[in-house]
Structures are given as structure tokens and as C-alpha cells.
Amino acid sequence: MSHLYEHEAELYDIAFDWDISAEADWLVERIAGRSVLEPGCGSGRMLEALADRDLDVCGIDRSAPMVELARSRLRGRGTLVVGDMTDFDLGRRFDGAVSPINTLLHLTPDELARHLASVSRHAPRYLVQVGLLDPSSHEPFAGSHWEAERADTRLKIDWIDDDVDFGRGVSRQRSRIEVLAGPRRGEVIEELHVMTHWTPQTWAAAVASSPFDEVATYDGGHAGHWPRVGADAVGGLLWHELVTPL
């Protein structure tokens, strides 16, 4: 688990606290049910948005500080569990599950296989955001620069691709958060994140060996509009709709 995620949960929560209302509306339509699971739920931004839309929510995350932030957001709604998203048994079923902002890129291929098996035991439909790369025309999708603020804290965030090794299927991404204002003004938190990268071919093979089938792919790069695209599409904001066969 990264230092940023485990020890700087509040700064992470501020950095990634943008408006997800349109995305949440779209996910509610795709789930087509009243209960939802989010593995790797982090500080609970998506769970809060889904709970605000009257869904019964449940989140699981390895980071206890993140789960505490999520509990504060949800204010007693839903269920939150500290646990490993690659191997869990919550003792119930959900109408669907969601995983936004490329959370699954933090898993190795073996971990992803165990994760998908665990989710399939809990939900028949899984909406996952996983970016895919094309080795022949690689354009890094981890190249974001933005600012965020909450109360008297203001941050400048840079998240970029440091290196991509297509042979090993690994992407090295570097994050830098500079505190521009607030009690921690002047602090800089930098970290290198070793992620798995997927091509359309390797992702299709991973899904084919799981309990799920991919029934649709959507381009999440259009604000408020997620058009359906082909399974060979590439980009950093792709949504994949996975279902277990009847």
C-alpha cells in the first residue's frame, strides 16, 4: 500500500474530491438495482454519491484511515469494512459493484484474478474503470496536473507516467502533491507508484479467465456522456461492464 494512501489519507481525499454527480447518476442506471459494493472504496466519495441516490452501499478497503474518512462521509449509512479487496467474504450479495478511477491498476494480474473471483461471489454485475494502452501508439494517460482546496488547505497535484514497460506489463507513475496554503504550507509529498498496465488484448484475456464476461465498454472521457465504444478502444477513462453468465 502506498505511503500517500495509508499515511496521507486526508490530503489524498482533498486532491481527488471533484464533482462526480453525473458519473454517479450513470452508474445508478447501469447497476439497475438498489444495493452496491465498492471494493477499494478509499475515502468513500463514490459511496457517498451513491448513498445520496438512495442505494444501500458497502465499501471495503485495506487502509483503516481511508475507511474512517469514508465513515465520516457516510454518517452512519451503509457498511464499511477494513479488508483485502483480493480475498473477501462479506456474507451477502449485491445488485452490482463499482470500481472507479483506475483502482484496479494497483493490482498485479494474479491479484486481479483473485479480486474478480471474490467480486463475482458478491455481485452479478461489475462496472470497472480501467484504462488501456496501445503499444504501437502509446500516449501516457497518467499526465494530469490540477489544484484542489478545502477550507484553508490548497494543493497543487501532478500525476504523470514515469515509465511504461510493455514487456513486463508495468507502469511507473509519479505523484507530487505540494501544499500551497494551510497549516502544512510548503510540504511536498512525492511517491512512485508501480502499477499494472493493460492493453485491450491482455485485459480481454484477464476477463476471459475470470467468472465475468465483458458485455460493453464505454468512453468516460466525455463530461456527462459515456458513449459505447469497441472492445479494442484505448484511453485512461474507459468503463468496462462485466457480468456473470446466467
Helix ranges (H only) for the chain are 3-7, 9-15, 21-31, 45-52, 64-74, 109-120, 200-208
* Mean pLDDT in residue range 137-162: 84
Domain definitions of the chain by residue range: 3-133+198-243, 135-196
Instruction: Write out the three cell numbers for 174.
Output: 509519479
* Mean pLDDT in residue range 22-36: 95
pTM beyond 0.75: the answer is yes
β-bridge partners, 80: 59
29 pLDDT tier (thresholds 50, 70, 90) = very high
CB 221 within 8 A of CB 235: yes
pLDDT of residue 112 exceeding 70, the answer is yes
pLDDT in tens, 157-210: 999 888 888 889 998 989 999 999 999 999 999 999 999 999 999 999 999 999
Task: Give the residue among 230, 227, 207, 189 at the shortest CA–CA distance from 4.
Answer: 189
C-alpha–C-alpha distance, residues 216 and 161, integer Å: 27
Instruction: Write out the three cell numbers for 99.
Output: 470500481
Instruction: Write out the three cell numbers for 86.
Output: 483480493
CATH of domain 135-196: 2.20.25
What is the residue type of 21? S
- Quick check: helix, strand or coil at residue 198? strand
- Going by their DSSP bridges, the two strands 79-82 and 56-61 should be labelled as parallel
Looking up cell 474507459 gives: 238
CB 154 within 8 A of CB 15: no
Average pLDDT score over the chain = 93
CATH topology assigned to domain 3-133+198-243: Rossmann fold (3.40.50)
